[in-house]
Chain A
Amino acid sequence: MKPIESNLFTQGIGKVNQNIQQNNPVTASEVQESFANELKNAINSVNSTQQESNAQTNALINGEADDLHNVMISAEKASVTLQTATEIQNKAIEAYQKIMRMQL
């Protein structure tokens, strides 16, 4: 299963940093592409954790769950993943708005 978004995000940033350190010119499209990939991965991660949590919860309702702690843990993972993705989205929008407000 994919690690949580901040790891993916920092990996993406890290790749860009690596390029800068090696004095490779970083194009805007590269940065955009890596960020778009990370956002896509984040959304997939949210979706998969939500589905896993729903499956475990349905098993709990029907009395088929094996362990209660696994149900609670998968629910918490889904919740944290969702909140992280929401925060990333908010921060990205905020950053965009700041840039748009810049007086050039």
Chain B
Amino acid sequence: MSIFHGMNTSGSALTANRFKMDVVSSNLANANTTRAQMNEDGEFEPYRRKLVSQEPRDASFNSFLQKSMNRSSNPGTGVRVQSIEEDQSPFEQVYNPSHPDANEDGYVQMPNVDPLKEMLDLMSTSRSYEANVTALNASKGLLMKSLEIGR
């Protein structure tokens, strides 16, 4: 565990948050995409909202070894993105008979993206990014101060 352990942990959170922001941007950009992919029936499906799942970045052999040897003064190594999953909630049906993708009843299937939810995610991700930048600066400040010992 090096002297930069705290900074690496905060750095991992910054990367994960930036990744989340990318996913939120992708959701917002595709909020009206009706022809995202082709399903098995040969028909177009609209864009499915993407979700990011995170896990603590602990799962390395070294950390399990330390834990089993009861030497766990290990405060953990941060966060990583585990997977991107698709939101399985049903598509929105909007009545728009003149739309090229309307079915026989005149309904179009729109992506299950709610702009309000995405805006909330955006704000919370960006606050989390700022908080992690503060944590990283605090770690850096500690190290700079320790360099002044004995100066």
Chain A interface (Cβ < 8 Å from any Cβ of B): 60, 63-69, 72-73, 75-76, 79
B2 touching A73 by the CB < 8 A rule?
Answer: no
Given B1, B2, B146, which contacts A72 in the complex, CB threshold below 8 Å? B146
Of A60, A64, A67, A76, the contact of B150 (CB 8 Å cutoff): A76
Give chain B interface residues in 1-41, CB to chain A under 8 Å.
1-3
Are B149 and A76 in contact (CB-based, < 8 A)?
yes
How many residues of B sit at the interface, in one of the four size bands?
under 10
Tell me how far the C-beta of A69 lies from the nearest C-beta in chain B, rounded to whole angstroms.
4
Q: How many Å from the CB of A67 to the closest CB on chain B?
A: 6
Is the beta-carbon distance between B3 and A73 smaller than 8 angstroms? no
| Main secondary structure on A side of the interface with B | helix
B residues at A contact (CB < 8 Å): 1-3, 143, 146-147, 149-150
Minimal Cβ-Cβ distance residue in B for A80: B150
Contact A66 B149 (CB under 8 A): no
- The smallest C-beta distance from A96 to any residue of chain B, in angstroms, reads 32
Task: Given contact pairs A68-B146, A72-B147, A72-B150, enumerate 13 new A-B contacts (beta carbons under 8 Å).
Answer: A63-B2, A65-B2, A66-B1, A66-B3, A67-B3, A67-B146, A68-B143, A68-B147, A72-B146, A73-B150, A75-B150, A76-B149, A79-B150
B107 to chain A: closest CB distance in Å? 61
Residues of A contacting B147 in the complex (Cβ-Cβ under 8 angstroms): 68, 72
